[in-house]
């Protein structure tokens, strides 16, 4: 019994020593593993940190690209084979006057002016058939109904893995460019008329003066008394022709100016009795509101002609009892404002205003406003028009002298 107990005790001692030996061995191996894994852990953490930095840089690049895409000066839009919008940037959505989410899936032709729908469909068809870039100019109609003239540049593409055609289109707002082009064309026409006027005006006037003189001589002779009314009619027509030639000469680009530093208000005050007389004859009123403005370098005769033409046009546009308001004030320019209470100008013809020979009057020559535009141009001024059904305002904007800025 004692031997069994001793053997059991010895076995336990041996087992304990074995277990201790195994623990010691495992500790060594674990330490070795730790020593091996520690550099790898450090390396892995460094790689994770580097990967995190790369991801942050990619996120920053993506945000910068998204900002460049969304706020580019032109609209970017993807159009599918059915003509529906797949994707559009914020600039493009702004040109169409709608929210971007509303536009996704919407047919693009909904935003095209009805008059230009065929142009748009032809644009897509040519792009698909030619398999190259196609450029087209047309008008968009925003949600507010305001037309926007744009240039579409479309490139055909195929979706990955299939044969479905879609179009990557760049939309550029060319409204301002078109306005400049129309203004340049108008100025070219004015210059042409001015050159014609300078070339033939004096030559035509000389024989007319002779004819008018003989008509005045003969109308009072006893032999022609029965034709006196006819003579007076011919003289009136010659005078009318002479006035047209005078307006022609006012269009001359190289017309010599007598420029002097003077106050615009003084010229208008001197003109007031003449304009008031015109208004009283037609039972209309003149209201003058002249604020203090800087002195300008002006040709008084030309400014008088400009003001006379604008005022008489305003009076003719109104019914009896109407008020013609003449104002001067200063914003970034010295402004002469002539406002009537007529029916306004038809939007379809407003772009033609100032074109020689264009008139809406039954007996007009179409030269009065053309002369005004020429006078303004010779004074480095511009004429703006604001019109509604309640009346029209002509705004002549003169540059403010530097010393007054």
In this structure, are strands 333-339 and 323-330 parallel, antiparallel, or unpaired? antiparallel
Q: Please say whether the structural domain 260-404 has been given the CATH code 3.40.50.2020.
A: no
What tokens does 167 get? 């179009």
Tally the C-alpha atoms within 13 A of residue 10's C-alpha that lie toward its C-beta. Answer: 6
What local confidence, expressed as pLDDT, does residue 268 receive? 92
State the DSSP code for 163.
-
Which of 333, 359, 357 is CA-nearest to residue 345? Answer: 359
What value does the mean pLDDT of the chain take? 80
pLDDT digits (tens, 9 = 90+) for 35-76: 777 777 777 777 777 777 777 777 766 666 666 767 778 888
What local confidence, expressed as pLDDT, does residue 11 receive? 57
- Asked if residue 360 has pLDDT above 80, the reply is no
- Asked if residue 144 has pLDDT above 90, the reply is no
Length, in residues, of the chain: 405
What tokens does 223 get? 């032999």
**How far is Cα 110 from Cα 102, in angstroms, rounded to an integer?**
12
Share of the chain above pLDDT 70, in %: 76
Exposed / middle / buried, residue 151 (Cβ in 10 Å: 0-12, 13-18, 19+): middle
258-267, 368-377, 385-394: which range is least confident on average? 368-377
Task: Name the one residue in this structure whose structure tokens are 């772009």.
Answer: 351
**How far is Cα 331 from Cα 329, in angstroms, rounded to an integer?**
7
State the DSSP code for 400.
P
Beta bridge partners of 328: 290, 336
Q: At what angle do helices 368-378 and 228-250 cross, to 10 degrees?
A: 30
Provide mean pLDDT across the span 197-212.
72
CATH number of 75-173: 3.30.450.20
Beta bridge partners of 151: 137, 172
Task: Name the one residue in this structure whose structure tokens are 């909904």.
Answer: 110
What tokens does 209 get? 């003066």
The whole-model pTM stands at: 0.47
Task: Name the one residue in this structure whose structure tokens are 């490139």.
Answer: 155
**Phi and psi for 133 in degrees, rounded to 5?**
-65, 140
Beta bridge partners of 325: 287, 339
Q: Please say whether the structural domain 179-250 has been given the CATH code 1.10.150.
A: no
* Buried b / exposed e along 37-70 (16+ C-beta atoms within 10 A): eeeeeeeeeeeeeeeeeeeeeeeeeeeeeeeeee
101-105, 260-264, 361-365: which range is least confident on average? 361-365
For the chain, how many helices (H) and strands (E)?
A: 9, 12
- Asked if residue 306 has pLDDT above 70, the reply is yes
- Asked if residue 397 has pLDDT above 90, the reply is yes
Beta bridge partners of 398: 334
Whether 142 and 132 have beta carbons less than 8 Å apart is answered as: no
């Amino acid at each position: 019994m004692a031997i069994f107990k001793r053997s059991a005790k010895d076995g336990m001692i041996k087992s304990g020593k074995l277990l201790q030996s195994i623990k010691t061995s495992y500790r060594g191996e674990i330490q070795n593993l730790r020593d091996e894994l520690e550099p790898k852990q450090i390396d892995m953490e460094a790689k994770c940190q580097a990967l995190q930095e790369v991801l942050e840089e990619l996120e920053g690049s993506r945000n910068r690209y998204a900002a460049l895409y969304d706020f580019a000066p032109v609209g970017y839009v993807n159009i599918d084979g059915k003509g529906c919008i797949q994707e559009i940037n914020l600039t493009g959505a702004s040109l169409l006057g709608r929210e971007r989410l509303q536009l996704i899936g919407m047919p693009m032709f909904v935003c095209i002016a009805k008059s230009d729908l065929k142009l748009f469909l032809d644009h897509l068809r040519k792009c698909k058939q030619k398999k190259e870039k196609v450029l087209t100019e047309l008008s968009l109609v925003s949600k507010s109904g305001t037309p926007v003239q744009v240039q579409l540049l479309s490139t055909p593409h195929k979706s990955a893995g299939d044969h479905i055609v879609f179009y990557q289109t760049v939309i550029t707002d060319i409204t301002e460019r078109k306005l400049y082009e129309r203004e340049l064309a108008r100025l070219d026409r004015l210059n042409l008329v001015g050159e014609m006027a300078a070339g033939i005006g004096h030559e035509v006037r000389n024989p007319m003066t002779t004819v008018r003189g003989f008509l005045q001589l003969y109308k009072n002779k006893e032999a022609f008394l029965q034709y006196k009314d006819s003579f007076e009619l011919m003289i009136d027509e010659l005078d009318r022709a002479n006035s047209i030639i005078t307006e022609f000469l006012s269009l001359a680009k190289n017309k010599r100016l007598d420029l002097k530093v003077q106050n615009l208000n003084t010229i208008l005050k001197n003109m007031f009795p003449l304009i008031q007389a015109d208004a009283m004859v037609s039972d209309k009123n003149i209201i003058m509101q002249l604020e203090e403005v800087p002195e300008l370098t002006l040709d008084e005769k030309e400014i008088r002609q400009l003001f006379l033409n604008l005022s008489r046009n305003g009076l003719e546009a109104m019914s009896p009892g109407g008020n013609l308001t003449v104002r001067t004030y200063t914003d970034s320019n010295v402004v002469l404002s002539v406002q009537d209470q007529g029916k306004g100008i038809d939007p379809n013809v407003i772009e033609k205003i100032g074109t020689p020979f264009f008139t809406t009057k039954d007996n007009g020559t179409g030269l009065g406003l053309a002369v005004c535009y020429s006078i303004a141009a010779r004074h480095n001024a511009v004429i703006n028009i604001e019109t509604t059904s309640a009346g029209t305002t002509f705004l002549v904007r003169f540059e403010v002298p530097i010393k007054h800025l």
